[in-house]
Amino acid sequence: MRIALIAHDEKKPEMKRLVTAYREILAGHRLYGTGHTGRIVAEATGLEVTCFHSGPLGGDQEIGALIAQNALDLVIFLRDPLTAQPHEPDVNALIRLADVYAVPLATNLGAAEVLLRGLDAGFVNFRTLVTGDTTKHEAY
């Protein structure tokens, strides 16, 4: 599976704890991240992460483009709902695209854990039903 990892500044420590705890599950997948979050994930886990720009500089839009191209299977976006984000329209567009293309999206730690455990148990394989794509997407 192809997984995007994004976290607002106040949620980056949570992302670091999440990826450290679920490193073994994430290790079997292709990881993408926005700027600083991607670097945090790579440093915390030792896993390869394809990093894009930071969110405010277009990273959210780059992740959204992957969703629109059916090049992502799951998104974990730990959002900070208590802080105004200067790039909120980009955030909303990314969430909208996840809904349009039926890409599972977690926006908080609890949902992220459920998705990662479901991924490990094989429950995210429904993506082949949604997309019709039977190609196995392995980490490269």
Mean pLDDT of 98-124: 93
Q: Is residue 60 among the annotated active site residues?
A: yes
pTM, two decimals, is 0.89
Mean pLDDT of 82-86: 84
For the chain, percent of residues with pLDDT exceeding 70: 88
**Is 138 a residue whose pLDDT tops 80?**
no
Q: With bands split at pLDDT 50, 70 and 90, how would you rate the model's confidence at 139?
A: very low
Per-chain mean pLDDT for the chain: 89
**Is 84 a residue whose pLDDT tops 90?**
no
pLDDT of residue 127: 63
pLDDT, one tens digit per residue, over 61-76 is: 999 999 999 999 999 9
* Cα 112 from Cα 89, distance rounded (Å): 22
Mean pLDDT of 95-121: 95
Of the residues 60, 73, 90, 99, only one is catalytic, namely 60
CB 73 within 8 A of CB 54: no
Q: Which residue has the higher pLDDT, 89 or 131?
A: 89
Q: What is the DSSP string of 35-62?
A: HHHHHHHHHHH---EEEE--GGGTHHHH
* Cα 65 from Cα 129, distance rounded (Å): 21
pLDDT, one tens digit per residue, over 114-136 is: 999 999 998 866 666 656 665 54
The tokens describing 71, both together, are 């090049």
Which residue is it, tokens 């997407």? 137
